[in-house]
Amino acid sequence: MQYRVEGIVIRSMDYGEGNKIITLLTNTHGKIGIVVRGAKKVKSRHGSLAQLFTHGEYLFFRNSGLGTLTHGEIIESHHLLREQLDKTAYSSYAAELVDRALQEEDAGQFIYEQLKACLAAFSEGKDLPVTLALFEMKILVAAGYAPDFNACISCGNEGGSMALSVRGGGILCGRCRYKDSTAIELSEGAFKLLRLFRQLDMRRLGSIAVKEETKQQLKHIMRSLMDTHLGLQLKSRSFLDQMDRYSL
Ligand SMILES: [Zn+2]
């Protein structure tokens, strides 16, 4: 059967002599694996369609299992994301997250739109760590693990300083803080940003100025949330960390 989908390449790997297998996140069919024959040949018409981060329209044939590409058109090649090392590192992590963190039923149109906007933001030069933290929050939303930042999860109190109980899935007020000894104290800046990110659609991300220490706290918090709830070992994250270390 023939399919036509709009999708973004979230994984691309060599397969046999000159071929590639790509995984697409699509706007209508979740994640799909497609064989791109001859993708590695220099003159291949389909080579660029098989590159990581490419956003395009894909026509493929499938009976069961993997599809086979018959035709495609590039909508956005995102070549900057493959050429600039810091952008490559961030984009690879975002793509691998979608590939690994989401079950088939969670990879719907919502996360498709969020990934599309995330890659566009990286490409346009928006702040990389801030954009990534927002995207991680969207992954947690899609996977059903996003914390509740509206009120204390224990007593409902909405005022005062708060601490995040990663395991409890929400915030604890000063009075209830003792209920989770591992809760992370939130600075006012981090708390505001987390609340905003919980609600914000990636497509509406403008340019926000975030203080360096708030960025560090944000990174620490998103890491704790991802590790506790998803527990993934991602190659792209080691790459990202290595790059961050060298650029200091
Ligand atoms: Zn409380």
The alpha carbon of 147 and the centre of ligand 1 are apart by a number of angstroms equal to 15
Looking at domain 2-77, its CATH class is mainly beta
The alpha carbon of 176 and the centre of ligand 1 are apart by a number of angstroms equal to 4
For residue 248, pLDDT over 60 is answered with no
The answer to whether 18 touches 104, Cβ cutoff 8 Å, is no
The alpha carbon of 162 and the centre of ligand 1 are apart by a number of angstroms equal to 9
Q: Which pair of structure tokens corresponds to residue 127? A: 């702040």
- DSSP conformation letters of the chain: -EEEEEEEEEEEEEETTTEEEEEEEESSSSEEEEEETTTTSTT-SSTGGGSTT-EEEEEEE-SSSSEEEEEEEEEE--HHHHHSHHHHHHHHHHHHHHHHH--GGG-SHHHHHHHHHHHHHHHHT--HHHHHHHHHHHHHHHHT-PPEEEEETTT---SS-EEEETTTTEEEETTTGGG-TTPEEPPHHHHHHHHHHHH--GGG-------HHHHHHHHHHHHHHHHHHT----HHHHHHHHHHHHH-
The alpha carbon of 160 and the centre of ligand 1 are apart by a number of angstroms equal to 10
pLDDT of 104 reads 83
The alpha carbon of 197 and the centre of ligand 1 are apart by a number of angstroms equal to 22
CA 3 to chain centroid: 26
* Dist. CA 1–CA 183, nearest whole Å: 52
pLDDT of 168 reads 95
pLDDT of 43 reads 79
pLDDT of 103 reads 87
pLDDT digits (tens, 9 = 90+) for 86-132: 999 999 999 999 999 998 888 899 999 999 999 999 999 999 999 99
The alpha carbon of 49 and the centre of ligand 1 are apart by a number of angstroms equal to 52
Across-strand partners of 20?
Answer: 14, 36
Calculate mean pLDDT across residues 163-187.
96
Q: Which pair of structure tokens corresponds to residue 70? A: 């018959």
The answer to whether 67 touches 34, Cβ cutoff 8 Å, is yes
The alpha carbon of 163 and the centre of ligand 1 are apart by a number of angstroms equal to 10
For residue 18, pLDDT over 60 is answered with yes
The domain locations on the chain are 2-77, 80-247
The alpha carbon of 21 and the centre of ligand 1 are apart by a number of angstroms equal to 50
Mean pLDDT computed over every residue of the chain: 94
Of the pLDDT bands very low, low, confident and very high (cuts 50, 70, 90), residue 158 is very high
For residue 49, pLDDT over 70 is answered with yes
The alpha carbon of 219 and the centre of ligand 1 are apart by a number of angstroms equal to 25
Of the pLDDT bands very low, low, confident and very high (cuts 50, 70, 90), residue 136 is very high
For residue 64, pLDDT over 90 is answered with no
Sign of the alpha-carbon torsion through 138, 139, 140, 141: positive
The alpha carbon of 78 and the centre of ligand 1 are apart by a number of angstroms equal to 46
- Sequence-ordered list of residues with C-beta below 8 angstroms from that of 126, at least 6 positions apart, any chain: 205, 207
pLDDT of 14 reads 94
The alpha carbon of 195 and the centre of ligand 1 are apart by a number of angstroms equal to 17
pLDDT of 116 reads 98
CATH architecture label of 80-247: Up-down Bundle (1.20)
pLDDT digits (tens, 9 = 90+) for 200-243: 999 999 988 899 999 999 999 999 999 999 999 899 999 998 88
Of the pLDDT bands very low, low, confident and very high (cuts 50, 70, 90), residue 40 is confident
